Structure 1
Amino acid sequence: MKQLGSVLALAIVLALGGCARSPETPSKDADAAAPAPTPTPTPTAPAAGAAPDQGAAAGSDAAAAATGPARLDGYGPVALGSTLEQVQAAWKEPLQGEVPDDYCHALRPQGAQADDVVFMIEGKRLVRYDVRNDRIVAPGGGKVGMSLGQLQTLYPDRGDVTAHKYDEKGHNLRVRPATEGGALINFEIGGDGNVTAWRVGQTPQVDYVEGCS
């Protein structure tokens, strides 16, 4: 009987040992099913040929005007209000034009084209300058060839439209100074609606229609 009891006890131990299992190791298939980490997006550079910044483009004309020779306080190295001697010394190159004993006359840089800048001297001082070409930009961006609408965009708050003395279809845009006592700009606009000339000067000289008169 002892032998039979021992055999039964051994059988029970073996049966219990077969039921015990070690923890399962994750399979390779399980690793493949796990979601992969989401990659961080990499910033991309603007595509070649992309449209330029519109704000920068809009400011290009203003920048060109700011660095050009025409200013509200003068032209190139000369300043409005300078004496005739100061103008001649500052310009350095010869200035052509009669220098009569009368009160007003015009000076033109030697060798300049007919439509280049002309200086008005009155009372032996520079009081105004005139331009009749599209190569020189007026203070604020206006120039010969522009329409009245373009000028009014450039000078929205200070431009007054006045009648042209000789052209019934033409007119002027008189741009008032931003500060009291400053110079004015007068744009002459022909019957076709485009600027033919402009001038910068003090009052009353900026309003002279026929040169010194």
Structure 2
Amino acid sequence: MKQLGSVLALGLVLAVGACGRTADSTPEAGGAAGASPTTPTTPTAATAAVPAPAAAAATGPARLDGYGPVSLDSTLDQVRAAWKEPLDGAVPDDYCHSLRPQGAQADDVVFMIESRRLVRYDVHNDRIVAPGGGKVGMSLGELQTLYPDRGDVTPHKYDEQGHNLRVRPATEGGALVNFEIDRNGIVTDWRVGLPPQVDYVEGCL
């Protein structure tokens, strides 16, 4: 009888051990076999949705270093080649002269050529935005908000109640922007160019 009890006890121990091994071999939830489809998961920084980048601000043809496909200080031949469309105006070798686009862009811009190089361009309409955001029709106060650090208010040569806002270049030797402002404090035109030509009030005479 004692021998039979020992055999039964041994069988019970082996059965319990077998059950333990079966439980240990079962993958835990979220283990290598993958999480249960009904188990909610928390997004991590790596999997969280990343917001789409903001759309780039629209830019026009006016730049501090040029206008559209042409660059300041380019030769006359380089200007004509880059612009591709015809430009009105004859250019004497050593004289200041203006070139205007033909067609739809005829009233958009005037190029100043001096010694057969592009030294400045002028804009007289509110369709084209100047480098930095200024344009025809703005007030002096609006300009000063756009150009708070480098804008100098100077007297107008012909209108004692008018002004210029002359925006100094950000880097040495760069181009300036000069806004003409009438007696009502409104921008009538502006120009971008290299000194001293950017300060020619009359343009090319």
TM-score normalised to the size of structure 1? 0.68
2:79 is aligned with 1:79: no
Please show how residues 162-173 of structure 1 align to structure 2 within 5 Å.
Answer: 162-173=154-165
Alignment partner for residue 107 of structure 1, among 99, 114, 117? 99
- How big is the shift at 1:113? 6.0
Specify the code of the residue in structure 2 equivalent to 1:148.
Answer: L
Alignment partner for residue 198 of structure 2, among 189, 206, 209? 206
Q: Percent identity?
A: 84
Query: 2:128 aligns to what SS in structure 1?
Result: coil
Please show how residues 1-213 of structure 1 align to structure 2 within 5 Å.
Answer: 63-64=57-58, 67-112=59-104, 115-212=107-204
Query: 1:182 aligns to what SS in structure 2?
Result: coil
Unaligned runs of 5+ residues in structure 2 are 1-53
- How big is the shift at 1:114? 6.0
Distance (whole Å) between structure 2 residues aligned to residue 174 and residue 129 of structure 1: 15
Q: Which consecutive segments of 4 or more residues in structure 1 shift more than 4 A?
A: none
Distance (whole Å) between structure 1 residues aligned to residue 120 and residue 88 of structure 2: 16
Kindly report the root-mean-square deviation, in angstroms, between the aligned alpha carbons of the 2 structures: 1.7
Query: 2:98 aligns to what SS in structure 1?
Result: strand
Aligned residues between the structures: 152
- How big is the shift at 1:153? 0.4
Query: 1:106 aligns to what SS in structure 2?
Result: strand
Larger-gyration structure (1/2): 1
Distance (whole Å) between structure 1 residues aligned to residue 77 and residue 193 of structure 2: 19
Distance (whole Å) between structure 1 residues aligned to residue 110 and residue 163 of structure 2: 22
Distance (whole Å) between structure 2 residues aligned to residue 172 and residue 112 of structure 1: 29
Query: 2:103 aligns to what SS in structure 1?
Result: coil
Query: 2:81 aligns to what SS in structure 1?
Result: helix
Specify the code of the residue in structure 2 equivalent to 1:185.
Answer: V
Distance (whole Å) between structure 2 residues aligned to residue 142 and residue 134 of structure 1: 9
Answer whether contact 2:94 2:116 (CA < 8 A) is retained. Answer: no
Specify the code of the residue in structure 2 equivalent to 1:75.
Answer: Y
Specify the code of the residue in structure 1 equivalent to 2:200.
Answer: Y
Query: 1:169 aligns to what SS in structure 2?
Result: coil
TM-score normalised to the size of structure 2? 0.70
Q: Check 1:114–1:88 CA distance in 2 against 1; reply closer, same or farther (3 A cut).
A: closer
- How big is the shift at 1:112? 4.7
Structure number with higher helix proportion: 1
